[in-house]
Amino acid sequence: MSAETAGTIPAPTDIGALANRINFHTRDAHNKINAYMSVRLAFALKHGFIYRQGILAYYHIFDAIEQEIDRLMMDPQGAKEVQVQGILRQFWLEEFRRSGQIFKDLEVLYSPEYRSKDAIRDFVSTNRLPPVLQDFVDYIHTTIQDEPCNVLAYCHVMYLALFAGGRVMRSNLYRHTGLFPKFEFLSPKELVHRGTNFFTFSDEGTDAENRLRWKYKQNFELATRNELSEEQKHKIIQVSSEIFLRNMAITGEIGELNKQELMSKFSFKLLTYFVEEWKYSALISKKSKDLIIFTLVALQFLLGYYILRRFL
């Protein structure tokens, strides 16, 4: 353990920490969405037209969260919102804001259709959201406006996931396995350089991002430990669990919207067959299911590696 993380707050064994309680109570949902993302969705998202739909969806999600954060920070109404304003002021920094960063990615990913910033902004603002995504956006506003402390569930679940996930998205390993999104007008290198602002919290590198992450976690814990009642913490944990489920529903909706085009690709048909058989078969043990997941992902990695060595 490094000197920087030796005195980490909260400690992993601190069962009273809100973040640890959220992690404990959402573990099953977290594992479920990880398995989904690791197999079926990973194959779908390597297609650029689907990947950019996902980035667009998360623009709307983070924009909704940040609209509520800004409202609470600048114009709180009533004692509950004033309470949450005080908590947010203890840990929220502008470096965490994602909507502006995602918009930069949309400018790159949708550039063939929308050549100017005004054109892409008009597209984003008038884009009609599919029903599951619209329901999630509405849910964000409703849960926070009904119970302002629920904003802390989004601050924990949605932002901390990006610190880890972003590193994977930008890594050479991910770029070279064949699972990276394909764009005719962008090379993988260009995409990493210009189109992964969503996953980037600092231009100063991984060490700076790590420091920001630890600062976020520490200040979140110090701000929430004594400022919230047990009833409020329980509500935050409940909303956190729902956030995981709604994230999976969003990715599932994107897959369904593109199902016809995806199913024209043999590799996705084969993957879908294995995953559906695994999902519904009571005869397959957990160990065997884990082996199927590992085998499918390993095969895709090996195929990408072979193509890279054979043709580059």
Q: What Cα–Cα distance (Å) separates residue 188 from each residue in 111, 171, 183, 198, 295?
A: 16, 11, 8, 16, 25
Six token digits for residue 88: 């947010």
Cβ–Cβ contacts within 10 Å for residue 98, how many? 22
Whole-number Å distance between alpha carbons of 67 and 234: 24
Residue 72: alpha-carbon gap to chain centroid: 23
Whole-number Å distance between alpha carbons of 64 and 99: 9
Bridge partner residues of 47 (DSSP): 182
Residue 176 in marked binding region = no
Residue 76: alpha-carbon gap to chain centroid: 27
- Is there a contact between 157 and 240 (Cβ–Cβ < 8 Å)? yes
Whole-number Å distance between alpha carbons of 255 and 19: 31
- Is there a contact between 91 and 198 (Cβ–Cβ < 8 Å)? no
Residue 289: alpha-carbon gap to chain centroid: 25
Six token digits for residue 246: 């709604």
Whole-number Å distance between alpha carbons of 222 and 58: 28
Q: Residues annotated as binding site?
A: 30
Q: Residues annotated as binding site for heme b?
A: 30
